[in-house]
Structure 1
Amino acid sequence: MKTDTTSLNLPVENPEAEDFLPILGTDFVELYVGNAKQAAYYYQTAWGFKPIAYAGLETGKKNTVSYVLQQDKIRLVLTSPLEPGGDINAHINKHGDGVKYIALWVDDATKSYQETTKRGAESYVEPYTIEDRNGKAVISGIHTYGETVHLFIERKDYHGPFLPGYKDWDKPYTTKPTGIKYIDHMVGNVGWNEMNKWCEFYANVMGFAQLVSFDDKDISTEYTALMSKVMSNGNGRIKFPINEPAHGKKKSQIEEYIDFYNGAGVQHIAVATDNIIETVTDLRDRGVEFLYVPETYYETVLDRVGEIDEDLEPLKELGILIDRDDEGYLLQIFTKPVLDRPTMFFEIIQRKGAKSFGKGNFKALFEAIEREQDLRGTL
């Protein structure tokens, strides 16, 4: 079905942003993984993603295989190499499984490329057109932190399952969705003293503006700390918090990530739900592991956040955190790393009016992460 993106009246959530692209939403997130078929099974079984498209030997691709999965507006692409050597193997050897492409849905991929590269972005790929019997799409791309790439995807003239070169992936095995709806934000970890550099990149190159910032007084425990700034485009559909380490008595989660990922990269993907209790219960029953939050957290949390719609007991039983800002409150929880290396994880978030990122939970979250770091011997 054709989507006429030019007629969309996009709301303005961040009026400070120039929004000269503009970006309509997250198109997909592509991970390079060691075994795409098994990774796809994990996201189908544990997370409730539906298989939608496939590209590999059967579609004429000789060097790579890719599985595309979707749940509501969240689309994941899992790609593995079929031969030794090459860039994908090098990426996996260096980083482990991880996010390579954050693809952004735009109305004009050529204009998006021109606007960003003339402002200083390093080109990844110039605009090119791909097509098949289902229509055509235009793709371009620029480099960002680490080896992460932003692709601009223009698909208004494409009507197939994903992109040209992919076929329908009709498999009898599907699972019930877990209720996750869309990507709320994606967090990038960068090295020492690099946060401002990359925030300026998003401001100057992509027209984003800063929503909020946190320093080492906001995000710290007795042992570790970090600093973070949140960059957003004008319609608020794309939010990129950027984290850097801060000095503490012990090694922070950001330092641990950079050590094991061997550089900057995507730390976590926050996915939104309309019912976090149902979603987290389902995910937990399917084997997804979450960080442990002590029961003492819940003894005073309502004194801090005030009245909420939910009963506290199921939130306590699941370990869901609560925070409030001037607009409302939010509920959030964080998985343990979903990969062998302690790198990428997921956040589940339900916003009840709040537009913030859980500042009141930072201490409890950090302490939970530190407990896991201590078990790994990396604190």
Structure 2
Amino acid sequence: MATDTTSLQLEKIFTDAEDFLPLNGTDYVELYVGNAKQAAHFYKTAFGFQGVAYAGLETGVKDRTSYVLQQGKIRLVLTSPLGEGGEINAHINKHGDGVKNVALWVDDAVKSFNETTSRGAEVAFEPKVMEDANGKVTLSAIKTYGETVHVFVDRSQYDGPFLPGFKKWESHYQPTDVGLKYVDHMVGNVDWGEMNKWVEFYAKVMGFAQLVSFDDKDISTEYTALMSKVMTNGNGRIKFPINEPAEGKKKSQIEEYIDFYSGAGVQHIAVATDDIVKTVSAMKDRGVEFLYVPDTYYDDLLDRVGDIDEDVAILREHGILVDRDDEGYLLQLFTKPVSDRPTLFFEIIQRKGAQSFGKGNFKALFESIEREQESRGTL
């Protein structure tokens, strides 16, 4: 299930992006978690991922264990420490389970490193080559918001299950997938006054363009507000919305996240499907919990978004949200947090032409999040 390593010449659709890297897509997302074995079982059972590769004591790794899961083009790496002390324990102690590495698939990891560090990126690690019988992979990495790292991955000369040091994970338990295809976007939450700093980082250091901007008038309820700007690379394969809190009567979801995560980090991973009703239905059957949207949201849905292919009654049954832009419409739904801390969650999204992010759903979504915050006593 290794990613196609053919070098791509992807069409540039966002002309404002400088695109000096360039980026082919998301290679993997690595989460540091308290118990990788059990987390892997959760993502297989509930989200329909399948086991691909493993590293740990049996492969000669003494300080950590990692399970690699894949569905469509989405690859998750779940890593836990094998002893006390060290970076992984410190990360989990501070943040709980959360995203550490957002790895980006590139043609040249050395060039990507040089391009970004020469523009001011802080080094996470220098370019290095990893080799085994299946070939070699070149990696390099830079630091971003909080303790989040972007790893540049050139696997054009590798044909193994994941990376050197990993072996194929042979598991008799490979549940069927739920129709998830690829990472659509990943959202970062940053602290007060930090959004523009990181928007500038992605523009200057990585050659991204600003796709859209939302202020507290766009994203607010009676009680809370936030601001967001969406950064994209030229081919649109990598989109990073950056959120920061805005003044409101009560504590916003961004503030709650920063409090419990102890700083900036990845708030949610949006994963795409071609059939959101089928995907969400399967995930619910497997125990995934989603945010609740009141029935009244659907009373005037067609007046707001126009004609759609889906049956509104079925969307109402599953709580799926709909929004339209100039290119088409999208359907989306958000899980509740996937760990005990109210931090990381997932978005399920189906795009039917729309390039936007559901602006028309913000109020309903954030009121739903506020109900969850109130139940936690953190609103």
TM-score, normalised relative to structure 1: 0.99
> Aligned letter for 2:188?
G
Query: SS state of the match for residue 113, structure 2?
Result: helix
Say whether residues 1:30 and 2:30 are aligned partners.
Answer: yes
Taking structure 1 as reference, are residues 2 and 85 closer, same or farther at Cα in structure 2, changes over 3 Å only? closer
**Aligned twin of 1:341:** 341
Query: SS state of the match for residue 157, structure 1?
Result: strand
Alpha-carbon distance in 2 for matches of 1:63, 1:327: 49
In the comparison of the two structures, how many residue pairs are matched? 378
Query: SS state of the match for residue 278, structure 2?
Result: helix
**Aligned twin of 1:76:** 76
Alpha-carbon distance in 2 for matches of 1:165, 1:312: 49
Post-superposition Cα deviations, 1:235-282, rounded to whole Å, max 9, x if no partner, equal 000000000000000000000000000000000000000000000000
* Structure 1 position 11, deviation (Å): 1.4
- Identical-residue share of aligned pairs (%): 74
Say whether residues 1:284 and 2:288 are aligned partners.
Answer: no
Instruction: Give the conservation status (yes or no) of the 8 Å contact 1:2–1:158.
Output: no
Taking structure 1 as reference, are residues 2 and 219 closer, same or farther at Cα in structure 2, changes over 3 Å only? closer
Instruction: Give the conservation status (yes or no) of the 8 Å contact 1:2–1:157.
Output: no
Query: SS state of the match for residue 65, structure 2?
Result: strand
CA RMSD of aligned residues (A): 0.8
Alpha-carbon distance in 2 for matches of 1:165, 1:13: 37
Alpha-carbon distance in 2 for matches of 1:9, 1:114: 21
Alpha-carbon distance in 1 for matches of 2:222, 2:124: 41
**Aligned twin of 2:103:** 103
**Aligned twin of 1:5:** 6
Query: SS state of the match for residue 137, structure 1?
Result: strand
> Aligned letter for 1:251?
K
Alpha-carbon distance in 2 for matches of 1:171, 1:285: 22
* Structure 1 position 3, deviation (Å): 4.8
Alpha-carbon distance in 2 for matches of 1:332, 1:32: 27
* Structure 1 position 4, deviation (Å): 5.6
TM-score, normalised relative to structure 2: 0.99
> Aligned letter for 2:6?
T
> Aligned letter for 1:5?
T
> Aligned letter for 2:329?
Y
Alpha-carbon distance in 2 for matches of 1:267, 1:11: 29
* Structure 1 position 13, deviation (Å): 2.0
* Structure 1 position 208, deviation (Å): 0.2
- Structure 2: 5+ residue runs without aligned partners? none
**Aligned twin of 1:313:** 313
Taking structure 1 as reference, are residues 145 and 152 closer, same or farther at Cα in structure 2, changes over 3 Å only? same
Say whether residues 1:251 and 2:251 are aligned partners.
Answer: yes
* Structure 1 position 301, deviation (Å): 1.4
Alpha-carbon distance in 1 for matches of 2:274, 2:341: 30
**Aligned twin of 1:297:** 297
**Aligned twin of 1:188:** 188
**Aligned twin of 2:87:** 87
Alpha-carbon distance in 1 for matches of 2:310, 2:3: 39
Instruction: Give the conservation status (yes or no) of the 8 Å contact 1:2–1:159.
Output: no
**Aligned twin of 1:140:** 140
Say whether residues 1:159 and 2:159 are aligned partners.
Answer: yes
Post-superposition Cα deviations, 1:41-79, rounded to whole Å, max 9, x if no partner, equal 000000110100000000000010000000010000000
> Aligned letter for 2:160?
G
> Aligned letter for 2:114?
Q
Instruction: Show structure 1 runs of 4+ deviating over 4 A.
Output: 1-4
* Structure 1 position 203, deviation (Å): 0.1
